[in-house]
Amino acid sequence: MSKKILECVPNFSEGRDMNKIKQITSVIEQMEGVRLLDVDPGKATNRTVVTFAGDPDAVIEAAFRAVKKAAEVLDMRTHHGEHPRMGATDVCPLVPVSNITMEETVEYARKLAQRIGEELKIPVYCYEYAAFTDERRNLAVIRAGEYEGLKEKLSDPHWKPDFGPAAFNPVAGATAVGARDFLVAYNINLNTTSTRRANAVAFDVRERGRVKREGDSVTGKIVKDKDGNPVMIPGSLKSVKAIGWYIEEYGISQISMNLTNLSVTPLHIAFDEVCRRAEARGLRVTGSELVGLVPLKVMIEAGKYFLRKQKRSLGVPDSELIRIAVKTLGLNELYPFRPEEKIIEYVLAGKPKNRLIDRTLEDFMNETASESPAPGGGSVAAYIGALGTALGTMVANLSSHKRGWDDRWEEFSVWAEKGKEIQNRLLKLVDEDTAAFNRIMEAYGLPQKSDEEKENRTRAIQEATWHAMNIPFQVMETAYRALEVIGAMAEKGNPNSISDAGVGALAIRAAVEGAYMNVRINASGVKKEPDAKILLEKGGAIMDETQQVCGKIMKKVFEKLK
C-alpha cells in the first residue's frame, strides 16, 4: 500500500455522558477519507480516548472539527475525574502509520495547533516531536497544575502558549497537540498464575528496570542516591514500559507492555527478550495478545525477523509474512487474530470492490473474452508481467531454500524481495489500466451543449487520454526491471528451475511489447504532441532494450537446457 496514513488519538474530558461523546465522534465519522477505529470511554477517569486514521489532510480536518465540537458540548468548569487534564480536548497526538515521516507529522501537528489556537481561541501547547523547545516535549510538564492551575500558568510569560491566546478559556481550557511514535499495547502470556513472577520478568525487561536493594534482591534495603531517590537497575529493553498482572478471565498471568518507540524496540524483539528472560526464571511464554490495532509494517517486520532466523527467503507474500508472525508470536492463543480487523491499513481499506485481480483466473479470462472492451491489452500485459516476475521470484525463493546452498540464502532472498515488489506493482497496474480506459469513456460522456461544457469535455478527454498513455508506459518501466531478477536467476539460480526463468523472461517481453502497443494507440489521441513523442521515444527504447536483454537470457536458458 502506497497511501499516506496518519493516525490521531485525541483524549476528551468526558467519559460518562455517551450523548456528548457521540456528538464529538459523529463529526469524525462524517469526514470523508477518515475511519473511526475506536472509542474508549472511562467512567472513573471521566475521559474518552478516540482513535481514527486516514488521509493526513482529512485527519487534520476531522481533528479540528472534533476539538471544535468538544469545546461546544463540554464544560471544564464542571469536570472531575481521576486522570490529569487541562482541557475539553486534553491532548491530540498525531501518529505516523504508513508512508509518512515524523517530520511531515510534525508539520501537520503544528498546522492543526495553529488552527485550533487562531480559530477556536483555545491556548495550545505543542509537545513531544512537535514541541518548539525541549522543555515542552514532556506532556506531564505541560499539564502540571492541570485545569485548576491553568489561569495562573497562562499569566506567566514563560508559559505563553505556542498558538492561541495567552488568556484563560474557562469552558474549553487548553489543549496539547503533539506528534509521537506509534504506541503498541502488547501483552505476553506466561504459563503461571503468579503475578509476582510475571512482575519479575517485567522488571527484567522494562527500561525503568527495578529498584536496587542491598544484599537480598527481594527483602534487602532499598539503595538511594544522594538526593534520597531510589537507585534503579535498568531493564534490557529501551522504550518499553511493563508490569506483570493476573487475568482471571484467562486464568494466566501476563506481562503487560507499552512499546513506545518501535524503531528502538520492535514487537518481535520485545517478544524474544521476554521469552529469554522468562525461561531463565523457569517460566514459558505460551503466546501473546495485541491490544488495539497495529500498522502493517509491525507484522511484516516481525514475519521477516522470524524467517531470517530460520535462514528462509523474505521475498514471500505479505499474507505469508503475517501468518508467520501470528504463529510465532502466538497471537491466536486467547482468541483468533484476524488481520482484516487488527491491521490499520486493512481496516481502512475495507473489502476491495470489484477489482479484476480479486477474480479467479477463469473469471478474469471470461471477462477479457466478453464483448466489454475492458479489461483489454493494457491490463492483460500488466498481468502477464506480474506472472513473469512471479516466476523469477519463485526461482529465487527455491534457490534460497535449496539443499546445500544454505550459505547463499540471503543472496537469493534479496532477489526474491525485489521480485515481490515488482510483481505487486504490476498487479496494481492491472486495475489501473482498466480504470484509465473507463475514465476516457466517462470523459466522452460529459455534456457538450454550451461552449463551457464543450471546453470542459475536451479538457477531460485530453487528461484522461494522457493518463491512459502513461499507465501502460508504467507497465513497461516496471516489467523491464523484472529482467534483472530473472536474468540473475537464469545465471545462478536453482538449475532445476531454469525453464521457469525462461518462461518468466518471455512473459516480461510480451508484457513490455504489449504495453507499448497501448502507449502507441493512446498517443494518437493526445494533442500535446511533444509530450506524446517523448513518451513514445522512451517506450521504444525500453522495448528495444527488453528484446536485447530477453534474447541474452533465453540464450543462457537454452545453453543450460542442453
- Return the percent helix, strand and coil in the chain, to nearest 5: 55, 15, 30
- For 96-116, give one letter per residue: b (16+ CB within 10 A) or e: bbbebebebbbebbbbbbbbb
How far does CA 3 lie from the centroid of its chain? 9
First and final C-alpha spacing in the chain:
43
Collapsed DSSP state (helix, strand, coil) of residue 363 = helix
Task: For cell 518471455, name the residue.
Answer: 506
Task: Please tell me what DSSP assigns to residue 186.
Answer: E
CB atoms within 10 A of CB 313: 24
Residue 60 is placed in which grid cell? Answer: 487534520
The stretches of 206-288 forming alpha helices (DSSP H) are: 267-280
CB atoms within 10 A of CB 283: 21
Closest-CA residue to 468 (of 426, 432, 443): 432
Closest-CA residue to 488 (of 399, 427, 420, 402): 399
Q: Which one of 79, 83, 401, 467 is the catalytic residue?
A: 83
Q: Is 433 a catalytic residue?
A: yes
Collapsed DSSP state (helix, strand, coil) of residue 103 = helix
Q: Is 83 a catalytic residue?
A: yes
Q: Which one of 181, 204, 433, 500 is the catalytic residue?
A: 433
Catalytic residues: 83, 433
